[in-house]
Chains A and B, each alone.
Chain A
Amino acid sequence: MSLAAAIRADDVDKLPSRRDEGWRWTDLRGLLRAIPPLSPEIEVAEGGPFAAIASDELAYGNGRRPNGADYSNLTMVGDGTMRLRFVSDANATSHSTFVAIEVEEGDHVTLLESYEGQGSAYVASVEIALEVERDAHLTRIILVDAPPDAILVSEARVILHPGATFHQTVLTTGGKRQRIETVVTHPGAGGSVRMDGVYLVSGRRHADITTEVTHARPDGVTDQLVKGCVSGQARAVFQGRIVVARGADKTDARMGHHGLILSERAEIDAKPELEIYADDVACAHGNTVGALDEEAIFYARSRGIPEAEARAMLTQAFVGEVVDRIEHEGARDVARVWVAKQLGGVA
């Protein structure tokens, strides 16, 4: 059951539905009566939100490499920073992409991944296979910008080899229905995983950040912090699962999800799960959903800060904790500006 399979087979019965436990808050079957026709080929100009901080790019337009070349299997060689762009410009059509990327032993790679949507009511699926070899490091910054009526599912499967590290931060405003999913197999051996995210969802949008990290072997670290806010009639979903397999001793796993609900009709659904089969582990999780502190808002107003600005400032500070954890300076700046722009505050 996946959107990718449904698009490829032109078969709505392959769509995940609310009957699938992992998709009950992000139902696709109930949303689509038929798979829309295939999206047209488009030209993609160089650029994107990370254009200023990295020159190499790999771009897909409506699911295809623009020049028709097939890059579905790609091995990355050498250290560096690269833009990975999924550009959609489509109206009521659908497209899917599969990308495989390998980070070679000992390399340090930063992937600046952007979803850039134009047009309306399209359905897009992106599947990514990432393999991080021994002692290599991969940072993945994901910035999602889609029209309010677009459907997007991004599913990444990440395989880490011993000693490898993988740090990811998702930044999204959602779509008509949208899911950014990451599934990681963690080999331990001193490797670390960070699975952060920020959602800022307004209007009638929907954003789902789903992650799963399986610690297969001893001595692995996972640190997760996801924060966000919903307003209007928006809905955010956070599903975080950390599995510590039998024998994966000395695993250190921390998960935090904290959401703000800024209006009466907005909703946050959260399912933090720790599944622990090993004995000697340090695992913790915290999950909170609440509102802005009205007393703090009044305090800021009493100092001369208009209410809307005070709310933006406090919301920005709330999610800023996640942004501050981005190690790549350029990406962190892009993320800060993005948050400020979404919240109407100042950077």
Chain B
Amino acid sequence: MLSIQNLHVRVGEAEIIKGLSLDVPAGEVHAIMGPNGAGKSTLSYALAGRPGYEVTEGSASLNGEDLLALDPSERAAKGVFLSFQYPLEIPGVPGLTFLRTALNAQRKARGEDEVSAPAFLKLVRAEAAALKIDFEMLKRPLNVGFSGGEKKRMEILQMAVLSPRLLILDETDSGLDIDALRIVSEGVNAMRAPDRAMLVITHYQRLLDYIKPDRVHVLADGRIVASGGPELAHELEREGYDKYQKAAA
């Protein structure tokens, strides 16, 4: 599914990702944990294709297809979805309009027909209800004036409607109270599927009580320095990142 080999990413003058390799097979959920500044967000932005995140070496492919050669919108059409740590406000564009534009742009890029308005609304209504999002909220400009929890639920709604192959969750738990965390996690868990892979990026173990990973990787100083089963997350929660930071340095 997702295969990253010896990835190096530069932001401005600084190299942040320094030879990262990672494989996430289809059907699996992998967590990436690491201290602040380890490069977690840089990895997610590089995979999504954010301008200014320059890949200087290495490769990243999804189902054998080179992601790095593609424009961000083309990556999305191939199935990459990044749930932002800080979702952006889109003034003047209602959530429904934004989502329908995105869905149809992806379908067009894949050579599929546009989704009809009734079919689209039916899909969104069902997913919004599952995430306890008031449908009226989708008529308001996307994320404008929304609380942190509302923005995160809106991210998961977009994810559910766009139905990506690779889900990258960047600090999805930040800013969520315990109820919102549960709703968001249920939304994510509902998307587990044999043909999907997930990369859950988080600083704290807490999220992984709700979204159970198959593998846990420790990211420190731009590299994966340790990998293991779910128990590794608990070890990190107990002992902190100190020994990995020292190892990386």
Contacts and interface: CB of A to CB of B under 8 A. Distances in A.
B242 to A, nearest CB: 33
Contacts of B72: 298, 301-302
Interface of A: 293-296, 298-307, 309-310, 313-314, 316-318, 320-321, 346
B92 A320 contact: yes
Contacts of A300: 90, 98, 102
A301 B109 CA distance: 13
B93 A303 contact: no
17 contacts: A296-B88, A299-B84, A302-B73, A302-B75, A303-B73, A303-B81, A304-B73, A304-B77, A304-B105, A304-B109, A305-B101, A306-B109, A310-B73, A314-B90, A317-B90, A317-B91, A317-B92
A305 B105 contact: yes
Q: Is the interface of A mostly helix, strand, loop or mixed?
A: helix
A296 B102 contact: no
Contacts of A320: 92
Nearest to A318: B92
Interface string B59-91: 000000000000111011100111010011111
Contacts, number: 80
Nearest to A324: B92
Given A294-B51, A298-B50, A304 B103 contact: yes
Given A314-B90, A317-B93, A298 B76 contact: no
A304 B91 contact: no
Contacts of B75: 302
Interface string B177-205: 00000000000000000000000000000
Contacts of B91: 314, 317-318
B90 A296 contact: yes
What are the 10 A-B residue pairs with the smallest beta carbon separation, nearest first? A317-B92, A304-B76, A304-B106, A303-B102, A301-B72, A299-B88, A306-B73, A317-B93, A301-B73, A296-B88
Contact of A302 (B82, B90, B98, B99): B82
A346 B98 CA distance: 12
Nearest to B48: A302
B142 to A, nearest CB: 9
A154 B87 CA distance: 45
A299 B87 contact: yes
Contacts of B81: 302-303
B172 interface: no
B42 interface: no
A298 B72 CA distance: 8
A297 to B, nearest CB: 9
B89 A298 contact: no
Indicate the member of B49, B82, B101, B158 with the most A CB atoms within 10 Å.
B101
B131 interface: no
Contacts of A302: 48-50, 72-73, 75-76, 80-82, 84
A14 to B, nearest CB: 43
Contacts of B92: 314, 316-318, 320-321
Contacts of B49: 301-302
Interface string B13-56: 00000000000000000000000000000000000111100000
A337 to B, nearest CB: 16
A75 B49 CA distance: 62
Given A302-B80, A305-B102, A305-B105, 7 more contacts: A296-B90, A301-B49, A301-B71, A302-B72, A304-B105, A306-B71, A306-B73
A307 B88 contact: no
B162 interface: yes
